[in-house]
Amino acid sequence: MINLIAEQNLLAFLPDRFRNLGLLRRAMCHRSYLNENEDMSEDNERLEFLGDAILGFTVAEWLFKRFPEKPEGFLTKARALLVRTPNLAKYARKIEIGPALLLSKGEEMTGARERDAVLCDAFEALIAAIYLDQGMDVVQAFVESILDTEEDTIMDRFDLEPKSRLQEWAQGHGHKSPVYVLLAETGPDHERVFSIQAVIDERPLGIGKGKTKQAAEKNAAEKSLKMLGIH
């Protein structure tokens, strides 16, 4: 049975009024609901299919614009993070999709309203419903308003330290992994200074110095990234 209060609460989070509430209700309709009710003729699985594709494009475009200096590897990993089931379920909870779901009594009893997979599917279906009802511009504005809150999470997770970024660049451009060559080791034992050069496919790159080999390698990677124009 449709919970009109829950439906109104969900609508309050959405960017514009639905012209066709039937689309919204279909997006909230779990397949189990059809077995016990005749007021709906279709579940949300077809909308979920479309919403998945729309969401993938919208997230990719947002990342492309938001992080203009980041390489393809960073963008790919960030997109995968943002569209993972737990994350989409988190977005669904933020806009209170759970109470608006149409479920069978059995699914209700097993806690489906809080199940990540169910919430994720409904969120994707909702994206498709907004698209069909209001167009792509509205979808993009809605999705981007959610993604804007995720920027810090993305940077914390994928703003890789220099050696990882250099390796990612090398692999992304068909090169072997960077090799770090010890050029010199100077100073007394208690104040050693290491000079190390990063090399990719026998191409010498940045030379870094540090009191440990690890610090010198990191410094070499930083200088190599600058040489390659990777910021």
Q: What are 195's strand-pairing partners?
A: 184, 209
Residue 43 annotated to the active site:
no
Query: Is the distance from CB of 152 to CB of 39 less than 8 angstroms?
Result: no
Measure the CA angle with vertex 208, ends 202 and 214; round to 5°: 95
The CA angle 34-38-43, to the nearest 5 degrees, is 35
Helices (H) and strands (E) in the chain, counts: 11, 3
Q: Which of these is catalytic: 48, 121, 124, 222?
A: 124
Q: Which of 7, 43, 48, 52 is catalytic?
A: 52
To the query of whether residue 124 is one of the catalytic residues in this protein, the response is yes
DSSP output for 62-95: HHHHH-TTS-HHHHHHHHHHHTSHHHHHHHHHHT
Positions marked active-site: 52, 124
